[in-house]
Structure 1
Amino acid sequence: MDEQRRRIDVRLANEAWESLMSAHASLMQVFAAEQMWEEISMREYDVLYTLAKHGAPVRMSEVQSGVLLSQPALSRMIDRLAQRGLVAREPDPVDGRAVRLSLTEEGARIQREVGRAHAKSVARQLDAALTPEEMRQLRHLASRLAAR
């Protein structure tokens, strides 16, 4: 049967969504309670991690696509991170009205240190609940959802 024409199971889709959101909320509570967030908050780390993934200066819109913050909230956070010397701003060579953002050495150091601790925490939590094959399945399914 054509994928477009198949009947959508609304109840199943919403139960799957609720399970995904519940798992996310539960894990975020566990991660938030850990000691790694002394120098930087989880949301600030998310911004630093997004910048680190890009590896080169990027526009604010590119950071925005990788974090769960509104544009005004992200702008304020970038201001605070820049004042603390963790994020650098430079003019965009293509568009003089725009700026490009990157990590400073200190921002990269904090991102790496917190990132190592956070990665170990994620691994502990997922390993306690899932087999390696289930983690591969989760990665695959989440990637498919993110690609839509």
Structure 2
Amino acid sequence: MPSSTESSGLSEAHLEVWASLATLLERLPAALDAQLQRDSGLTHFEHGLLFALDSAGDRTLRMSTLAGYASSTLSRLSRAISRLERKGLVRRQVDPSDGRVTLAVLTDEGHDLLIRSTPAHHALVERLVFDALTPQQVRQLGIIAGRLAQAVDPAETWSPGGARVRSA
């Protein structure tokens, strides 16, 4: 009878790494969501949308651009924006320069909530991710995460400052 590593097609070493990564992929989003829900009533995904909008000129982005930044389908994004609209954090408007385009606009209330929620969120990210690593490991993690993201989807991604960059 073949062992589980033989039937999986992964070597023992790769299976060990994959088990660690898969565990991280389950635990980290849950921890981030729990903190943000508790402190601000937002999911990690919603917080990321507010953060991207806040970083954009005029706190406004095309819905399609925001979906790209969030690695989201337009359908998932639309549902999230609807939730944020009901809370008064975002509004949609037709692009005055192109009536076929819908814009997402961060409201003053959305900006204020983002300002209040970001310090505790960033503190949790520091504790869960960066405190566990050396400076060299942090640089390596950035390179590795970029390469993995590129392997999954070669589309451009969001970066701080609102610029779109290719993954490393």
With the length of structure 2 as denominator, give the TM-score of the two structures: 0.68
Matched, 1:24 2:25: yes
Residues 94 and 50 (structure 1), Cα distance of their counterparts in 2 relative to 1, 3 Å cut: same
Higher fraction of strand? 2
Residues 108 and 29 (structure 1), Cα distance of their counterparts in 2 relative to 1, 3 Å cut: same
Structure 2 counterparts to residues 32-71 of structure 1, below 5 A: 32-34=33-35, 37-42=38-43, 43-56=45-58, 57-67=60-70, 69-71=72-74
CA distance in 2, matches of 1:98, 1:11: 46
Structure 1, unmatched stretches of 5+, are: 1-9
CA distance in 2, matches of 1:36, 1:28: 12
Q: Deviations over 1:74-100 (max 9, x none)?
A: 212212312322112232133212221
Sequence identity of aligned pairs in percent?
A: 33
CA contact (8 A) 1:48 1:103 kept: yes
Q: Deviations over 1:95-141 (max 9, x none)?
A: 21222112111101111221211111000112342112101110122
Equivalent residue, structure 2, for 1:126: 129
Residues 48 and 35 (structure 1), Cα distance of their counterparts in 2 relative to 1, 3 Å cut: closer
C-alpha deviation, 1:51, in angstroms: 1.7
With the length of structure 1 as denominator, give the TM-score of the two structures: 0.75
Equivalent residue, structure 1, for 2:160: none
Count of equivalent residues: 139
CA distance in 1, matches of 2:121, 2:146: 20
CA distance in 1, matches of 2:95, 2:57: 16
- Larger displacement relative to structure 2 (84-93 or 112-121): 84-93
Equivalent residue, structure 2, for 1:146: 149
Pick one of 67, 87, 103 that aligns with 1:100: 103
Structure 2, unmatched stretches of 5+, are: 1-8, 155-168
CA distance in 2, matches of 1:40, 1:55: 25
Equivalent residue, structure 1, for 2:161: none
- Structure 1 ranges of 4+ moved more than 6 A: none
- Partner-residue secondary structure (3-state), 2:103: strand
